[in-house]
Chain A
Amino acid sequence: MSDKFIVQIGEITKVNLSGKLDAIRAPLLMEELKSLIGQSVKRIVFYAQDLEYISSAGLRTIIFAKQKLGADTELYMIGAQDTVTDVIKMSGLDNFLYLQGSYEG
């Protein structure tokens, strides 16, 4: 597992999610995402193929990204496993996130 979540910062920022995103690890992601505030990020792409599990705390970190980085910033989650997309959809926390199988660019 890589130490950092964010692998590329820019107008399009890429973030790797793997393993578990729960109350233990979510604060670490939160800290990294905070560094993007004010950086004119247009889009954040979360690569989630290796994400096994996302908990309430993990979901809230993603929501935080949306709220703090502005209504104009788009959030994408790519390649998430069914268990993860199910949880996102069932809990209703999905209306600000584009869930896709793959991503070009």
Chain B
Amino acid sequence: MIRVDTYPTHKYADFNLRTGKPIPFGATIVPGGINFSVYSRHAVSCELVLFNKHDREPFAVIPFPDEFRIGNVFTMIVFDLDYENIEYGFKMDGVFNFNDGHWFNREKILLDPYAKAIGGRDIWGEEPDWSNPYQYRGRIAFDDFDWGDDRPLELPMRDLIIYEMHVRGFTKHSSSGVKYPGTFAAIREKIPYIRDLGVNCVELMPIYEFDEFENSRISPVTKERLLNYWGYSTVGFFAPKAAYAATGTFGMQVDEFKALVKDLHKNGIEVILDVVFNHTAEGNENGPYISFRGIDNKTYYMLTPEGYYYNFSGCGNTLNCNNPVVRNMILDCLRCWAAEYHVDGFRFDLAAILGRNQDGSPMHNPPLLETLAFDPVLGKCKLIAEAWDAGGLYQVGAFPSWGRWAEWNGKYRDDLRKFLKGDEGFSGAVSQRLSGSPDIYNRHYRGTCASINFITCHDGFTLMDLVSYNGKHNEANGENNNDGGNDNHSWNCGFEGQTSDEGINFLRQKQIKNALSMLMLSQGVPMILSGDEFGNTQYGNNNAYCQDNEISWLDWNLLNRNYDMFNFFKKIIEFRKMHPCLKSSEENDYETHVDNGYPRISWHGTRAWDADFSGTSRLLAMLSCGNNTGSDGTTQYDFVYMAMNMHWEMHGFELPGLPEGYKWHVFANTDAPAPNDVWGAGKEVLLDNQSEFLVGARSVAVLVGKL
């Protein structure tokens, strides 16, 4: 088919132009040229600035002809460009008026908010040329990746086991043994490991373009450079970070990331992206011009009536998420990741901000969240909210959800940690957390899959550090240990930090297994922090956001040293998969009892059917009942009993009675030294004593009742 709109009609200097299409925004390859389109409500005029890759000075500045403008969108096609080797930006002209919120400055070259690829910072940590007027440069991306028959996996939420990972930290340490450390390609090399562990979903900390040099400074303690390592500060929402790609210097990060997603999918592993729509890297009034500030400040940022930047993110500015245009941008962005990158879901950082109005006030029915919940393209995507922000809005349990949003359950983390370290009186709270927190997430409306259960995540201690330190040790961050949370609910098992004391180390390993057992046997969706499975430590730093070194990089040497721990993780993850009664019920299944009369979940103490929920209790047992279909096709009743003794003394737990023929077998006992700490799923050991099980001090036992 011959298109009649593929020939230039106008000329500017040596450039052939034609009127462009306003949608899609950004830079799109069209026959013979590139369609450029950018929105600005308040700009008066716009120029396209073109560079040859890496050149300091542009080779062309082409004004968008006013006759090409449609509404508030500047658009044009420029023909005959070497699309692999150019970089582009915009210059916007308009008013500068602080009170009115306009920051137009026609000297600044601005990054296209819709840039699908970004060049200029291709190598991680390479000191930028600070005098370069245009640091982050839009590039043209190919969107023709050959996916074969790949598509998002659409695993049921109830089956998900999430593994939170930092792309660079996962493989940067030399012990990782990969060819391209710290990159997307390196994660592919580790896919066999991830499969072996058994998780089926990888949640990646920010992978879009961000500035690792933001707030960079030298640590007064270590004299090393501190970087914005975690990346919670967006430069380009639509572009994968070039410096995370082994092919970043060749500009192939888009292909490389897509290849990663394709490979993960092929291995049955979903991909969830951590997205940060609450603020940008442009900071507050003193921050740089990168993109939004110069393109249309008033549209993109929440501003006070005097024109200052609201700071609900704690990072200088707040994205104006419920402005209709910004809302569309967020939607376009997520649709792009879902449709073009086949991403399976998103976790929204500081999501409470997404529910704030343009003037900062919390909204009852935030249009953005509703839009995302009902969007057709995102219809099968997981949507997970970190349901709080830095401005005092704490919405765990109350995040507007329309039945689609899940939340990071901060209460799960806190209650389990307190119980784990032996605080008294938490049995009642823990019983709620283990059953999917129905006190927070109504079973009929939100369902227990709304609860993302976790004990550790990137924020705070690693699991090994949770049981090795009473307090945080963030001196290396250079803020006098004032940064990072104080309410860690951690316990060092008798000594602060690393020790050679065998007893303490055994207890720490046991506590880790205790925590994991409870997490993996909980209703809701479990999430673990990458590295916890082999006892990775950050040496007590609970806020390693700026540490680009051994503190935050996973030490794979620990995998050999702590192989027993890895084995425990692997076995218990497998166990969860083999026992559907541990997972949240199917939708619309509100049965409370199995057809044999046993309740689906019941609570016990040292006496069966009699849990101690008093204020001095330190122990609890859970019995989960359901059905299980074996590999031979036969179905039998399934009984999983977990006794949790967080007291410092051994206790006998009276075992609930089982139906005729069924007997108790032990699957795991954290008090037993490896390899007797855990048996394979299906290989549980028949107990001689069917009426009582002795659970050691600070230990968890998991029993299975079967024929």
Give chain A's interface residues, CB within 8 Å of chain B. 22-24, 55-57, 59-60, 63, 67, 86-87, 89-93
Q: Which 4 residue pairs across A and B have the least CB separation, nearest first?
A: A92-B259, A90-B246, A23-B84, A91-B255
Is B83 interfacial (CB-CB < 8 Å)? yes
What is the minimal beta-carbon distance from B666 to any residue of chain A, in angstroms?
45
CA A57 to CA B256, docked complex, whole Å: 14
What is the minimal beta-carbon distance from A82 to any residue of chain B, in angstroms?
11
Q: Indicate if the CB atoms of B263 and A92 lie closer than 8 Å.
A: yes
For A55, the chain B residues whose CB sits under 8 A away are: 84, 250
Q: Indicate if the CB atoms of B255 and A92 lie closer than 8 Å.
A: yes
Give chain B's interface residues, CB within 8 Å of chain A. 82-85, 142, 144, 146, 180, 183, 185, 188, 245-247, 250-252, 255-256, 258-260, 262-263
Given the known interface contacts A56-B251, A67-B146, A87-B247, the answer about A92 and B256 at a Cβ–Cβ threshold of 8 Å is yes
CA A86 to CA B82, docked complex, whole Å: 24
For B258, the chain A residues whose CB sits under 8 A away are: 92
Of A24, A56, A90, the most chain B CB neighbours within 10 A belong to A90
For A60, the chain B residues whose CB sits under 8 A away are: 142, 144
CA A59 to CA B233, docked complex, whole Å: 33
Residue of B nearest to A55 (CB): B84
Residue of B nearest to A86 (CB): B246
For A91, the chain B residues whose CB sits under 8 A away are: 247, 250, 252, 255-256, 259
What is the minimal beta-carbon distance from A10 to any residue of chain B, in angstroms?
27
For A87, the chain B residues whose CB sits under 8 A away are: 247, 250, 252
Contact with B180, one of A23, A59, A67, A90 (Cβ below 8 angstroms): A90
Given contacts A55-B250, A87-B250, 16 further A-B contacts (CB under 8 A): A22-B84, A23-B84, A24-B82, A56-B142, A56-B252, A90-B180, A90-B245, A90-B246, A90-B252, A91-B250, A91-B252, A91-B255, A91-B256, A92-B255, A92-B256, A92-B258
Q: Indicate if the CB atoms of B259 and A23 lie closer than 8 Å.
A: no
What is the minimal beta-carbon distance from A24 to any residue of chain B, in angstroms?
7
What is the minimal beta-carbon distance from B117 to any residue of chain A, in angstroms?
10
Given the known interface contacts A22-B84, A60-B144, the answer about A93 and B246 at a Cβ–Cβ threshold of 8 Å is no
* Interface Cβ pair total, 8 Å cutoff: 51
For B247, the chain A residues whose CB sits under 8 A away are: 87, 90-91
CA A54 to CA B258, docked complex, whole Å: 19
CA A60 to CA B145, docked complex, whole Å: 9
What is the minimal beta-carbon distance from B306 to any residue of chain A, in angstroms?
47
What is the minimal beta-carbon distance from A88 to any residue of chain B, in angstroms?
10
Contact with B262, one of A59, A67, A90, A92 (Cβ below 8 angstroms): A92
Of A23, A59, A60, A91, the most chain B CB neighbours within 10 A belong to A91
CA A67 to CA B263, docked complex, whole Å: 20
For A22, the chain B residues whose CB sits under 8 A away are: 84
Q: Indicate if the CB atoms of B82 and A56 lie closer than 8 Å.
A: no
For B85, the chain A residues whose CB sits under 8 A away are: 23
> Can you list 26 A-B pairs with a CB-CB distance of less than 8 A?
A23-B84, A56-B84, A56-B250, A56-B251, A56-B252, A56-B255, A59-B255, A60-B144, A63-B146, A86-B246, A87-B247, A87-B252, A89-B185, A90-B185, A90-B246, A90-B247, A90-B256, A91-B250, A91-B252, A91-B256, A91-B259, A92-B258, A92-B259, A92-B260, A93-B255, A93-B259
What is the minimal beta-carbon distance from A64 to any residue of chain B, in angstroms?
10
What is the minimal beta-carbon distance from A79 to any residue of chain B, in angstroms?
20
What is the minimal beta-carbon distance from B53 to any residue of chain A, in angstroms?
11
For B250, the chain A residues whose CB sits under 8 A away are: 55-56, 87, 91
For A86, the chain B residues whose CB sits under 8 A away are: 246
CA A91 to CA B82, docked complex, whole Å: 21
What is the minimal beta-carbon distance from B284 to any residue of chain A, in angstroms?
38
CA A15 to CA B205, docked complex, whole Å: 43
CA A81 to CA B146, docked complex, whole Å: 24
What is the minimal beta-carbon distance from B458 to any residue of chain A, in angstroms?
26
Q: Indicate if the CB atoms of A23 and B188 lie closer than 8 Å.
A: no
What is the minimal beta-carbon distance from B150 to any residue of chain A, in angstroms?
11
Q: Indicate if the CB atoms of B263 and A23 lie closer than 8 Å.
A: no
What is the minimal beta-carbon distance from A75 to any residue of chain B, in angstroms?
13
What is the minimal beta-carbon distance from B36 to any residue of chain A, in angstroms?
18
What is the minimal beta-carbon distance from B178 to any residue of chain A, in angstroms?
11
CA A81 to CA B317, docked complex, whole Å: 48
Residue of A nearest to B83 (CB): A23
Residue of A nearest to B144 (CB): A60
What is the minimal beta-carbon distance from B9 to any residue of chain A, in angstroms?
24
What is the minimal beta-carbon distance from A65 to any residue of chain B, in angstroms?
12
CA A56 to CA B142, docked complex, whole Å: 8
For B256, the chain A residues whose CB sits under 8 A away are: 90-92
CA A23 to CA B85, docked complex, whole Å: 9
Q: Indicate if the CB atoms of B84 and A57 lie closer than 8 Å.
A: yes
Residue of A nearest to B84 (CB): A23
